[in-house]
Amino acid sequence: MIRTLTLAALVTALTAPATFAQGQQSQQQQQSRQQRQSSRQAADAAPVSDQLFAAAAAIGGLTEVTVSQLGVQRATDPELKKFSQQMVADHTRMNSELTQLASKRQMALPATIDPKSQFCAQSLAGLSGEKFDRCYAKAQLVIHMDSVAMFEAEAERGQDPEVKALAAKSLPHIKHHLAMIKPIAERYEKEHPSTEGAAPSPASASDSGAASGKSER
């Protein structure tokens, strides 16, 4: 009996440090996970610049009106033409609201679209028929995905209460626009899964130009 108790005590003495070490390691891992989660949450909650948002939203709004006007003129798909008309009306109104608030808050806004957007519009303007419809739908999908992300960031982490409120007010409309264009763009992608005929990006245009220059030499 005494020997049995002695063996049990010995086993307990030998396994206790290992059990303690495992518990300590588990606790350290849990603390490490909590610290990483806290760091991610802090990064997600970091404020964004209201001035940068206003400038980006102004360019995005001007781009949307410019591209949508092409849709009104050139789209052959009735759904796209109707969508384009609504985009011109909605984004003209939202652009006006942003301009008024920026003037009140003394924020300077760009008066023209950026080169990337100019190139996109120019590329689309050179297309017609079904090819225009396909590329235009894809461009509108990308534009609205970017806009939703931008307006969400300002609505959640903006610092100026009025600018933040404007983003929150506009966000449901932009999400609705995205919900409208997504199935149209997906339909064209299913019918023509290749990227042939898509409006080229500035980078791809420069690459193709460089390649043609090499072949000529």
Contacts of 126 (CB under 8 A, 6+ apart): none
**In which band, very low, low, confident or very high, does the pLDDT at 72 lie, cut at 50, 70 and 90?**
very high
pLDDT at 217: 41
CA distances to 88, 92, 134 from 83, in Å: 9, 14, 14
**In which band, very low, low, confident or very high, does the pLDDT at 19 lie, cut at 50, 70 and 90?**
low
Choose between 191 and 149: higher pLDDT: 149
Give tens-digit pLDDT for 49-64.
999 999 999 999 999 9
- Identify the weakest region by mean pLDDT among 43-52, 69-78, 119-128: 43-52
CA distances to 61, 185, 203, 211 from 100, in Å: 14, 33, 35, 47
pLDDT at 5: 52
Buried b (16+ CB within 10 A) or exposed e, 35-57: eeeeeeeeeeeeebebbebbbbb
pTM: 0.69
* Mean pLDDT for the stretch of residues 84-92: 97
Question: How many C-beta atoms lie closer than 10 Å to residue 113's C-beta?
Answer: 21
pLDDT at 205: 42
**Average pLDDT of the residues of the chain:** 83
The C-alpha R_g of the chain, in whole angstroms, comes to: 28
pLDDT at 191: 84
- 143 pLDDT higher than 60: yes
Pairwise CA distance, residues 24 & 176, whole Å: 51
Beta carbons of 157 and 100 less than 8 angstroms apart: no
Beta carbons of 116 and 202 less than 8 angstroms apart: yes
Structural tokens at position 84:
């384009």
CATH 1.10.3720.10: does it fit domain 50-109+127-193?
no
pLDDT at 36: 67
In percent, the amount of the chain with pLDDT more than 90 equals 65
